[in-house]
Structure 1
Amino acid sequence: MDMVGNRVAPLALGPEHVVLFIGTNKIVKDTPEAFHRIKTIAAPLNAKRHTNFKIPCQTTSICHDCKSNQRICNSWVITEKSFPKHRIKIILINQELGY
């Protein structure tokens, strides 16, 4: 998830190799739980970093599906498989990293 898409676009189409360093706090049971985590943890915490933004999730810590032009959750990418095979590599780090 990203505001503009520049951080998620390379997953869908971009460099020959993509390496993701993922903390264990990002591991969830399924896609609905992932969306819930993003909307109640990751996005609000990320929004709070942008002190010049004025969006509802900064104060309520939950997504409001707002229509603000400062909304940070505009572009979503879901990757089910790596194509070509082995293009995307995940390095799982046994600690909580980021949001």
Structure 2
Amino acid sequence: MNGVSETGVMVNVDGTGNRVAGSLFGHKKVYFVLGVNKIMPTLEEAIYRARNVAAPKNVLRHGYKCGCSLQGGDRCYDCSAPDRICNVLAIYYKKMRNIEMEVILINEDLGY
């Protein structure tokens, strides 16, 4: 999970959809484990965080070549590079039907 609003709406950015796909369909129970660093006041700020904080840091971590890594990893440049990792934006307003979902919030900064 890349961001969550204070109202509980969660945001996940993904490059190929493989990470979000498993949380949307197919599993009987999904756990989301996230640190307090992912909590933002609004949905808009959670989306901003996912695209401009989490995604560039993950691009740098993996060594991908795309707009944000070529510009120093400071934000998303909305590029069209083959290595782009922000092709999918999933917004979880509520839990999916027929899937149990549990959010575990850890009182630490975890991941990006």
Q: Structure 2 length normalisation: TM-score?
A: 0.80
Q: Percent identity?
A: 40
* Matched ranges for 1:7-86 at <5 A: 7-51=19-63, 53-58=64-69, 59-84=72-97
CA contact (8 A) 2:66 2:84 kept: yes
Q: Which has the higher strand share?
A: 2
Identify the residue that residue 16 of structure 2 maps to in structure 1.
Answer: 4
SS state at 1:78 partner: strand
Per-residue CA distance 1:9-67 (angstroms, 9 max, x = gap): 1222120000111100011111110111122210110000122x211211241101101
Q: Which letter does structure 1 place at the counterpart of 2:26? A: G
Structure 1 distance, partners of 2:81, 2:104, is 34
TM-score (norm 1): 0.90
**Residue 105 of structure 2, aligned match among 77, 92, 98:** 92
Q: Which runs of no fewer than 5 residues in structure 1 stay unpaired?
A: none
Q: Distance in 2 between the 1:69 and 1:39 partners?
A: 17
Whose RCO is larger (CA < 8 A, sep 6+)? Answer: 1
Q: Number of paired residues?
A: 98
RMSD: 1.5
Contact 1:56 1:64 (C-alpha < 8 Å) held by counterparts? yes
- Inter-partner Cα distance in structure 2 for 1:83 and 1:4: 20
- Could you give the per-residue CA deviations for residues 69-88 of structure 1, whole angstroms, max 9, x where no partner exists? 11010111111111337711
Task: Structure 2: give runs of 5+ residues left out of the alignment.
Answer: 1-12
Tell whether the 8 Å contact from 2:34 to 2:105 is kept in structure 1 after alignment: yes
User: Secondary structure of 1:33's match?
Assistant: helix
Runs of at least 4 residues off by over 3 Å:
none
